[in-house]
Amino acid sequence: MSGFDTIIEGVLLGGVYALFALGLSLIFGIMRLVNLAHGDLILLAAYLVLSATTALGLPLAAASLLVVVAMFALFVLQRLVLERVLGDDILPPLLVTFGLSIVIQNGLLLGYGADSRRLQAGAFESSSVTLAPGLSVGLAPLTALVTAIAAVALLQLIFYRTSLGRAFRATADNPAIAQLMGVNERNVYAIAVGLSLAVSVIAAIVFGIRASFDPSIGPARLLYAFEAVIIGGLGSLWGTLAGGIVLGLAQAIGARINPEWQILAGHLAFLAVLMVRPRGLFPARRT
């Protein structure tokens, strides 16, 4: 049963990594932008939820909804910052988002200090669900996996069943032609950024309940998100979910062999996938 437990643990961990990666995959799929501040934005969302629950005294659910709205409103980053550097050259956006990452890290350090924090979810943190006789899983990680699947399904529905989704796909394929057809490229990019930031709140809540966080760990979250996106295939949302699960399974198996190998096993899985399938397991098809 221990081997099966390891697989379950890896899949549940993969759900968390998929949530980390969804916003990154969404932005790359539409804007062809690698956001180096993605991990720090997740961390910013976690601290905002923490502030809403402690300073304002709101329940976690109400605080989460408030922060979703607040993070979506940060689509102004697209209008004020990202829009100025988007183009054929990928270096300026990388430099700008790297700078944004440093600003967020230092702002959080100044505002909250270097101490580790954690979101409190009461009995939910320690509750478990029995899947089979002798096999129970934590309710929090199971909820994270279900949420990741639901988020991917909802984003897929938006992409392929709505007019907004058609605008997303048209702009991703060819922004110039999309503009000729009446699509406002600036608005599409702003909505994409806002949607990515709103999804990051879900990742922040899951992570904040699961583990402690401090202002310095944003780049590590970015690394896991980036690996999940690359493993699954750039721009593929279901591929991102699969990539997160592959990464989680690799880490769980590595930890089973030797606890010191957990992180290394995930990186080795990432390297192995790149060697066999450089474009990832399920690369997005251009339509």
Indicate whether 285 belongs to any domain: no
Range of the structural domain that residue 215 is part of: 2-120+149-276
**Is residue 135 domain-resident?**
no
Cα–Cα distance measured from residue 245 to residue 223, given in angstroms and rounded to the nearest whole number: 15
The total of structural domains in the chain comes to: 1
Sequence-distant (≥ 6) Cβ neighbours of residue 93 within 8 angstroms: 33, 34, 82, 85, 86
pLDDT tens for each residue of 21-80:
998 998 888 888 888 999 999 999 999 999 999 888 888 889 989 998 888 888 777 777
Let me know if residue 127 belongs to a domain.
no
pLDDT in tens, 124-147: 777 888 777 777 788 888 888 999
Q: Computed from CA positions of residues 105, 68, 120, 212, in that sequence, does the dihedral angle turn out positive or negative?
A: negative
CB atoms within 10 A of CB 126: 10
pTM, two decimals, is 0.89
Which residues in the chain belong to E strands, given as ranges? 128-132, 135-138
CB 71 within 8 A of CB 48: yes
The domain that holds 101 is classified in CATH as 1.10.3470
pLDDT of residue 233 exceeding 60, the answer is yes
Residue 206 lies in a domain: yes
Find all residues with CB under 8 Å of 216, minimum gap 6, and list them.
105, 109, 114
155, 29 Cβ separation under 8 angstroms: no
